[in-house]
């Protein structure tokens, strides 16, 4: 095998990552998306460099590059949450990153025996992050209203997550059989690096094609140019508004398929309407808009002061308290309990003034 193949392939990976990062930077993506994409590209590039023995030795084995490379799985995990789930960056997101850094330092500085043990734990933790990526991608596919993002989920991101899992398995196997011929498909060897290069360039191609819808912030589109299509869409919008007014969103476990069946319309038309006309990027966000507004009214009502937060959450269609708390905090910046306390205090403080004024 040519000694130039390995650095050439890794150079292709770096170029693909640079093109991808530039495409996102020039899109209308929100700043957190751009920063997370940049961080993921840097981490993966450092990981690819440190996994190549020839390149690593030629670079002088810089510690900073190695430590950044240890964060590749965590950066990819965070990228998926921010881009595909529209999750805001929260302080808790730094926990997996801190764990990976700590393990990376231990692998670097501990003696061989202890380093190998920590390395096994590092591989296991990276595998768990990859499994969570698969879970997020699969779980959010049905409710994703952005067509370009749905295609990216189905076609590529799951494949990349599978590649990460395979690499974790190969890393475990290398500790027991360092001379195994099948290890040539690990990312530290040219064959494995070539596979990753193909995947990265495929990602770049799909993301460039879907960039406008994938990274654009939510917005509402105006009327259609085609009068007949506009009339049909207006009728569907009226039926949807009637469904919302009748509080059909209270149904627990409601899916976009259920709603499409109730409105007697194809699912893809309903997706396009909610995304393009109402500006929602996923179905859970659409439901939460009505549910959280209703929760705020009930939490601020003194008559319902004795009703538990859990009872309100269940009555509004949430299957458990956790999703309700997360959705409420994302929408208001505070927990339901905090919001209720502040709202009730404000209403009780305003009461004497209103009475004296009357």
pTM score, whole prediction: 0.78
Per-residue confidence band for 222, with pLDDT thresholds at 50, 70 and 90:
low
The CATH number of 5-214, from 3.40.50, 1.25.40, 1.20.1070, 2.60.40, is 1.20.1070
| pLDDT tens figures, 52-71 | 877 777 888 888 899 999 99
Task: Write out 116-165 in H/E/C secondary structure.
Answer: HHHHHHHHHHHHHHHHHHHHHHHHHHCCECCHHHHHHHHHHHHHHHHHHH
* Residue intervals in the chain for CATH 1.20.1070: 5-214
* Residue intervals in the chain for CATH 1.10.10.60: 227-347
| pLDDT tens figures, 182-211 | 667 777 777 777 877 777 777 777 666 666
Please tell me the class of the 227-347 domain. Answer: mainly alpha
Per-residue confidence band for 155, with pLDDT thresholds at 50, 70 and 90:
low
CB–CB of 28/218 below 8 Å?
A: no
| pLDDT tens figures, 156-169 | 666 776 677 777 77
Mean pLDDT of 288-299: 94
Alpha-carbon gap, residue 220 to 104, rounded angstroms: 45
Per-residue confidence band for 314, with pLDDT thresholds at 50, 70 and 90:
very high
Phi/psi for 147 (5° steps) reads -60, -40
Q: Which own/partner pairs from 264-268 qualify as long-range (CB within 8 Å, at least 24 positions apart)?
A: 265/236, 265/239
* Res 333: pLDDT: 87
| pLDDT tens figures, 118-127 | 988 998 898 8
CB–CB of 191/184 below 8 Å?
A: yes
Q: Is the pLDDT of residue 43 over 90?
A: yes
């Amino acid at each position: 095998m040519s000694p130039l193949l390995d650095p050439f392939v890794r150079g292709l990976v770096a170029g693909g990552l640079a093109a991808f990062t530039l495409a996102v930077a020039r899109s209308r993506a929100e700043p957190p998306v751009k920063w997370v994409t940049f961080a993921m590209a840097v981490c993966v590039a450092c990981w690819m460099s440190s996994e190549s023995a020839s390149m690593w030795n030629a670079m002088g084995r810089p510690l900073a590059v190695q430590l950044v490379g240890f964060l590749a799985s965590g950066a990819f995990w965070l990228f998926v949450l921010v881009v595909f789930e529209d999750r805001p960056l929260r302080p808790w997101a730094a926990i997996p990153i801190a764990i990976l850094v700590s393990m990376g330092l231990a692998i670097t500085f501990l003696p061989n025996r202890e380093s190998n043990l920590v390395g096994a734990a590092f591989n296991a933790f990276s595998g768990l992050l990859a499994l969570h990526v698969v879970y997020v991608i699969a779980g959010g596919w049905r409710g994703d209203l952005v067509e370009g993002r749905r295609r990216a989920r189905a076609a590529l991101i799951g494949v990349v997550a599978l590649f990460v899992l395979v690499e974790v398995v190969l890393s475990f196997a290398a500790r027991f059989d360092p001379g195994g011929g099948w290890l040539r498909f690990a990312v530290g060897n040219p064959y494995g690096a070539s596979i990753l290069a193909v995947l990265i360039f495929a990602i770049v191609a799909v993301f460039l094609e879907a960039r406008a819808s994938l990274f654009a912030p939510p917005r509402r589109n105006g009327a259609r140019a085609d009068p007949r299509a506009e009339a049909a869409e207006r009728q569907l919008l009226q039926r949807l508004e009637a469904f919302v007014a009748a509080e059909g969103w209270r149904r627990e476990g409601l899916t976009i398929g259920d709603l499409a069946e109730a409105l007697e319309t194809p699912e893809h038309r309903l997706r396009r309407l909610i995304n393009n006309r109402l500006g929602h990027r996923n179905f859970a966000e659409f439901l939460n808009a009505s549910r959280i507004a209703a929760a705020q009214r009930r939490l601020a009502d003194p008559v319902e002061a004795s009703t538990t937060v859990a009872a309100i959450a269940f009555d509004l269609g949430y299957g458990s308290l956790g999703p309700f708390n997360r959705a409420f905090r994302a929408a208001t910046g505070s927990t339901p309990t905090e919001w209720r306390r502040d709202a009730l205090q404000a209403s009780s403080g305003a009461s004497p003034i209103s009475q004296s004024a009357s």
